[in-house]
Structure 1
């Protein structure tokens, strides 16, 4: 069975509404006309019969019509209302039939015109694929619901294209980062074990262990990044100031002065991911700092978590790149064994999972200030908050 298209249904609706409206209007008009004609012609028959009987003054009186009776009419004028109404109904029927055909044709054309943007959207969607996200609808015309739908579809395609491009870059960069330690391991095995000696074996062993640790850190970072992008399954209340205090105690300062201002703040989220978020921010502030520099970390109810350092100058147009996977401010750090280029991208993913807003601005004297504000952050302790203190 062939399905009915939207155009057919719209045409049927247009024609049906027109037909019902026309028949109703004509029926009411003819009914009112019938009542009016019957009343007028009844009065006219009485007047004609009365005029014909008035000159016969000497004739014997004839009995008048009884109450509610209608005088007899031999002139045929009583059939005139039925004749008029019959002719009216005939003309109305022909008019309705002709206008019904016209309404079907006009409704079909109008439905096609209204659905033309929908067909354009459908054709664009059929041409799209993961490797071809460049087409856009770019619907022209008045600002209505269909143009809004087309603009929304184009915006969605822009986001999909950015996401696909980012995914391709991420895959390429991840493949490069994973291939580098494998190449180092292969070289160490092929060259280092070519002429094995106790000293060379010990050196190769240390090199292989370091490469293995780097690969493990990279894989762990990728897993955390994926977990942050997938969102949170469960949430619990976390004292952000206590968590940050623990992170500071676990992170080596490396010659950088760490200054802190921690006020009681409670947020809803995953304590493990929040710990990684704070640790990455602090580690980044220490790693990309100047000798004898300062790293400030603040927790406040109004601003959330803020980490700033006194590192090198960061151009305004490069700030957004730092939160993309495998993107570093200085190209020379690409080959660093201690950095995977995922620190701030993991921070951004964890912030998205917690529905938090993250902003980063360059400091006037160099360095970066990163602020993470959570939507449910509150000040003060909550019942049972001491349990987290004991677990920390």
Structure 2
């Protein structure tokens, strides 16, 4: 049972117990006040006057002692029945009042719960700020607000660090790439130097991709700075055309079924989402495989690919940063483990979600959905 129901039952039970004790006390007091059956009539009053019937009723029958005993029994029985009915009615009233009191008392707690459910990484600015006198509930709300202040400061500090580190690392990486290319272009550069330079350039490209991924992830985690109607089918068409050569090199057939699909969001982030999904479908595939990109269906965007078997319990971990099921994809380039985590972050920034389902025979079916569509 919920706390609200338990509190209402507790209030009703306590009232019922108190009422039962009060009625029992009243019963014994009335019983004591009634004249005993062996006692005579009060001074100045005869037995006939004590048991005299009410006007219109049948006259009493029997002796005075018998009628007095019957009168006493009827009074006590009537008291018990009426008290029981009154107690039952008041028990229902007590439960209703207990429920009302529980709702009023737990309303501040419900506000805390509602605020906690609404909170996300991009909405940590919300606060409860409960008004009213200083008590345990307002202290709970103030403590929760203080925790949100600390969380917001921690998230902002983390985002600034990632963004600043990404920007600061771009310059030395670009300088390093230029120096390697100049060294490889010299006339006296031998085969060993050229081979070393090519390896360094590959590592440099992977490092730049990692930095770019971290920067994009930090940007998407901050939420959308602006929104506009975006033709998702046109973005998908451009991405598919740009990836046909990479798919051909990997021996993968790339197909598309693009129906008009307009969503509200950031075109740069949405393009990155489509690019990462298509690249992931090409890289983690097998020769002779198939990648299908579609829009305008049940989901805003669907990307399906053949490939190795994907365990169902490993699907949720695919969207975590730096998580890869296989270190060596079959595609033309290795990833850095941020592709699908960026997809999940971009989908969340648009108020949507991305879902991955293992295909029968191997591969995955990815679906990007948004709760609203601009048609």
With structure 1 as the length reference, what TM-score do the two structures score?
0.47
Larger radius of gyration: 1
With structure 2 as the length reference, what TM-score do the two structures score?
0.49
